[in-house]
Amino acid sequence: MIGDTTEAKGCRLKDPMDLFRSGQVVKICAPMVRYSKLAFRTLVRKYSCDLCYTPMIVAADFVRSAKARDSEFTTNKGDHPLIVQFAAKEAQVLCDAACIISPFADGIDLNCGCPQRWAMAEGYGACLINKPELVKDMVRQVRNQINNPKFSVSIKIRIHEDLKRTVDLCQKAEAAGVSWITVHGRSIAERHQPVHYDAIKTIKQSMSIPIVANGDIKTLKDAENVHHLTEADGVMVARGLLANPAMFAGYEETPVKCIQDWVDIALEHGTPFTCFHHHLMYMMERITSKQEKKVFNVLSSTSAVLDYLNDHYGV
């Protein structure tokens, strides 16, 4: 489950709340299916990312199956502070998953924001924003069953059409002991519509715990603007970091050094070719011509990719 287990057991767990106490805007790598795994987290941490999330893991599978634990979660001693995001709909299942993970991660996050049909059909993700009492119970039970006070318990939500309901949900979670709340400023039905940053600001002004803003942040300038618009304590970025993992360090586009770092990290971690290649396709999107993309995107082996990068970028 843990990669180098002895190394991971020697890891220094951190209190993620220290980041929010620093007074600086906390820069966060979002949970991304297939993409926010250990190798990519290692890369963005080199470029001023403060806090990383794992991809969403279904808690019931994780608790039930050693195979799921091995395939879904790897870490090492440099991978901190780290938040493991779970999809769950029963408090005890979430608690069991949190107990398994607590020696190796700094906190868990309950996914209350995923709008995908399969997740909603299973009772996971964004449908939980309509079950505030259940969310409250899940947060409280994890708080009660993990005896490390520095272990964070957060939630990631979408907003309701009626914002009063979202504020009510957040206040119930706060009363149950939630550490912070990440707000994706769209409703369940919204996909590419503008993000409601005003809603995030309203939530922030209604709470005394940290609030993280999420949605359509693609550059460091965007992150600064969203912070000013929302007064949020942190910003969480997904696609912006895929396109430019050095974004938080102030780069406008992916620098060649970052591509080199990705190659080194991915090879060291034994990253599967498809994942290795897809990350490069995202990272090089803004810096390659249409013709170059046609060539690069159909390469089918690590050696072909390495030859291409060497020929075109000296990597």
Sign, Cα dihedral of 68, 191, 241, 25: negative
Tell me the one-letter amino acid at 104: F
The answer to whether the annotation marks 85 as part of a ligand binding site is yes
Start-to-end C-alpha separation, the chain: 32
Q: Are 224 and 217 in contact (CB under 8 A)?
A: no
The answer to whether the annotation marks 33 as part of a ligand binding site is yes
Rounded to whole angstroms, the Cα distance separating 165 from 50 reads 31
Rounded to whole angstroms, the Cα distance separating 102 from 104 reads 5
The answer to whether the annotation marks 239 as part of a ligand binding site is yes
Token pair for residue 207? 């709470």
275 in active site: no
The answer to whether the annotation marks 269 as part of a ligand binding site is no
Q: Which of 49, 95, 112, 114 is catalytic?
A: 114
The answer to whether the annotation marks 31 as part of a ligand binding site is yes
Q: Which residue has the tokens 């926010």?
A: 36
Q: What angle do CA 125, 130, 132 make, to 5 degrees?
A: 95
Q: Could you tell me which residues are beta bridge partners of residue 236?
A: 28, 214
Annotated binding-site ranges for FMN: 31-33, 85, 184, 238-239
Binding residues: 31-33, 85, 184, 238-239
Catalytic residue numbers read 114
